[in-house]
A and B are shown apart, each in its own frame.
Chain A
Amino acid sequence: MNKIEINDCTIKKVNDICEKFGNKSGELINVLHETQNTLGYLPEEVQKVVAQNLNVPLVKVYGVVSFYSFFTMKPKGEHPISLCLGTACYVRGAENVLREFEKELGIKVGEVTPDGKFSLDCLRCLGCCGLAPVCMIGDKVYGRLEPKMVKEILAEY
């Protein structure tokens, strides 16, 4: 993990979230959800603050963060791309679309472009299998994808 400095303002935000959930250890997952919503990711320093507030060992917080795929310790790009690799998308050729994204962006799954503009991730099922294969960029869903559409889609950003 990269060492980062977190400022007092961030610490206060995290403290407030913990407070909102009564600093209860049973609310750990809810606290992490809201913290990630606010900060975008959960670096080690933030996990330390959460651990102190909820009075649980840091190892437990880290255990939970690393267990669930929804939580991330790396910041995402400005426009996070999530490509669905659920079964319905897979059988309709999502892998080829993924390869095209990797080729166009020059990054692999889980990475961020050097300029911080895009990050590429896979997820399992967005639940719009009628549009398979699909991807989401930010909140916008793109459906019925073909590898040749990738360039055009990226050009929108």
Chain B
Amino acid sequence: MAEYKNYILVCGGTGCRASRSSELVEELNKQLKIYQLENDAKVLTTGCFGFCEKGPNVKIIPDNTFYTRVKPEDAEEIVKEHILKGRKVQRLLYLDPDTNKHISDDKHMEFYKKQVRIALRNCGFIDPENIKESIERDGYAALGKVLTELTPEQTIDIILKSGLRGRGGAGFPTGKKWAIASKSVAKPKYVICNADEGDPGAFMDRSILEGDPHSVLEAMAICGYCIGAEHGLIYVRAEYPLAIHRLQVAIKQAREYGLLGNDIMGSGFNFDVELRYGAGAFVCGEETALIHSMEGKRGEPTLKPPFPAVHGYLGQPSNVNNVETFANVPIIILKGADWFSSIGTATSKGTKVFALAGKINNVGLIEVPMGTTLREVIFDIGGGMKNGKKFKAVQTGGPSGGCLTEKHLDVPIDYDNLKAAGSIMGSGGMIVMDEDNCMVAVAKFYLEFIVGESCGKCSPCRIGNMRMLEILTKICDGKGTMDDLYELRDLAHVIKDTALCGLGQTSPNPVLSTLDNFWDEYVAHVRDHKCPAGVCKNLMEYHIDPAICVGCGACQRNCPADAISGEKRAPHTIDQSKCIKCGTCREKCKFGAISIQ
């Protein structure tokens, strides 16, 4: 990229677009025209920068200035000051919360300092809708190397030696998976990319597809070469319109450049990719369910074996990998297995992308080496808890994972450590919770999700989770008993041991981990009929402090249940039998006289 003096990179990820980044691009272009700088600077819409909390983000290269929360109205100032006069717009720079100083360069921001971006190497650096930019950053170089210099066996060997494990959750060694699929004799074979990211609060795969679709296509072709497949399929959620659009553009461009299709790079190898759309079913992330869904059926899982490597899509051998796993492949081929395996811990190599969200200052998409501790992720990169609240728990692995607490903060993150701590790595969702979150209600929230998403095929998952949800609802309503807690644990273990697929087997994890780590909170609900976090409505009582109440009557007038009584200019009282706990009185009270007990 040497034709322009300046490049203005604007984040075009879903988060930033929701905050009007597309309008910002238009406005920047308009301003460049007005100031006649079209030949000096070029505006590019890129994939996700990761720092979603401060979006829309804008980066100007070559001087690497990082602007945050940029609005379309700021476009003129950026063009006039920065592009024309070379002066940074101070007020749009990131303000370091510790030093209270503006930081102009992302390299010096806490959020980026500890990150190592491998799978996200191109996200935020290239225009994903322009294949030339991908190629300039070594896109399709690994495919070229594989096709011209390596045999399928040698390639699989590199992936095997690198120690890359499946990033979708279970952590199965990728090289091993490829080796098994390559040994299946039946033809045709299929390469399937699992982009059905159903985990609520996780957006890793989507950001990769939106920011760097070519790396995924390239890796699928490499996989096809290794296992002897000519067809690739990407199963992507219909809820991701932007990712679908960018994949369609990328596939079209790759075909035009002869990087997909027949006789790729004159090697005689044929490979093409098609899209298949999901329709909103969490269970379709499970590979057998995903394959059924691609065949146009209900996405119900089947018993393994037979594994997809033997009997997959349309009954043919198929290799299913997740988006992030694929995104790691090209760079491993280029930089070598030793380079990749030098990053990470003894059993988990490389990096992991996490969608960091919840009650944390820096919500965003991050990538850290395996072995980074939860404390570093939450307090250094994540910038600590929002509004100075106390850290309570971090949930990893989505509905299949568990809640970890303060005592786990110094655990180095890898597949095995998280499993030992009672959670899972999962696909990379990481939700931070503070003292205001009730862990019983959180367990209930996840079970509601699971009950809604259970496909209904096996009874432990279909009925067992429903029973668990009933018990949790009872507890949150203040009607639970101590026996319920023991039964909850029993049920959880039965479901874990007997459910058919990965969804069912892991569905009790949120309950089990909260029972283990927050037993006292469950007991408080059951024995003392109190919700310590003040979330469970039926366990709360609103009270008016007679010392503060001036008797203005605002609460009384606004109470929808006529539960408040009292004389004018005298302290009012709430009739607990009538109160529906809507909280209106507390909102309306100007004197802060109403509290929750």
Determine whether the beta carbon of A87 is less than 8 Å from that of B203: no
- Contact partner of B15 (CB less than 8 A), chosen from A32, A69, A131, A148, is A131
Cβ of A106 < 8 Å from any Cβ of B?
Answer: no
Cβ of B281 < 8 Å from any Cβ of A?
Answer: yes
- Measured CB to CB, the residues of A under 8 A from B are 25-30, 32-33, 60, 63-64, 67-71, 85-92, 123-132, 134, 141, 143, 148
Q: Which positions 239-275 of chain B face chain A at CB distance < 8 Å?
A: 239-240
- Contact partner of A141 (CB less than 8 A), chosen from B18, B203, B296, is B18
Q: How far is the CA of A86 from the CA of B280 in the complex (A)?
A: 13
Determine whether the beta carbon of B364 is less than 8 Å from that of A130: yes
Tell me which residues across on chain A come within 8 A of B17, comparing CB atoms. 141
Cβ of B445 < 8 Å from any Cβ of A?
Answer: yes
Interface of B, secondary structure class, is mixed
Determine whether the beta carbon of B15 is less than 8 Å from that of A127: yes
Tell me which residues across on chain A come within 8 A of B455, comparing CB atoms. 67
Among residues of B, the one whose C-beta sits closest to the C-beta of A126 is B14
User: Interface code B14-57, partner A: CB below 8 Å = 1, 0 otherwise?
Assistant: 11011100000000000000000000000000000000111100
Cβ of B232 < 8 Å from any Cβ of A?
Answer: no
22 A–B contacts from the bound complex (CB under 8 Å): A27-B296, A28-B296, A32-B279, A33-B277, A64-B296, A64-B297, A68-B279, A69-B280, A69-B281, A86-B201, A87-B429, A90-B200, A91-B432, A124-B449, A127-B15, A129-B201, A129-B355, A130-B53, A130-B363, A130-B364, A131-B18, A143-B19
Cβ of B431 < 8 Å from any Cβ of A?
Answer: yes
Determine whether the beta carbon of B363 is less than 8 Å from that of A129: yes
Determine whether the beta carbon of B203 is less than 8 Å from that of A129: yes
The answer to whether A129 and B15 touch (CB under 8 A), given A27-B296, A87-B358, A88-B363, is yes
Cβ of B63 < 8 Å from any Cβ of A?
Answer: no
Interface of A, secondary structure class, is helix
Cβ of B198 < 8 Å from any Cβ of A?
Answer: yes
Tell me which residues across on chain B come within 8 A of A67, comparing CB atoms. 281, 298-299, 455
The answer to whether A68 and B200 touch (CB under 8 A), given A91-B359, A127-B15, is no
Tell me which residues across on chain B come within 8 A of A88, comparing CB atoms. 200-201, 357-358, 363, 431
Q: Which positions 334-387 of chain B face chain A at CB distance < 8 Å?
A: 355, 357-359, 363-364
Cβ of B78 < 8 Å from any Cβ of A?
Answer: no
Cβ of B495 < 8 Å from any Cβ of A?
Answer: no
Q: Which positions 213-228 of chain B face chain A at CB distance < 8 Å?
A: none
User: Interface code B290-309, partner A: CB below 8 Å = 1, 0 otherwise?
Assistant: 00010111110000000000
Minimum distance in angstroms from B285 CB to a CB of chain A: 12
Tell me which residues across on chain A come within 8 A of B186, comparing CB atoms. none
Determine whether the beta carbon of A68 is less than 8 Å from that of B363: no
The answer to whether A25 and B363 touch (CB under 8 A), given A67-B281, A87-B431, A127-B14, is no
Q: How far is the CA of A60 from the CA of B52 in the complex (A)?
A: 42
Minimum distance in angstroms from A29 CB to a CB of chain B: 5
Minimum distance in angstroms from B175 CB to a CB of chain A: 30
Determine whether the beta carbon of A68 is less than 8 Å from that of B299: yes
Minimum distance in angstroms from A51 CB to a CB of chain B: 12
- Contact partner of A30 (CB less than 8 A), chosen from B277, B282, B446, is B277
Q: How far is the CA of A129 from the CA of B314 in the complex (A)?
A: 37
Q: How far is the CA of A71 from the CA of B280 in the complex (A)?
A: 8
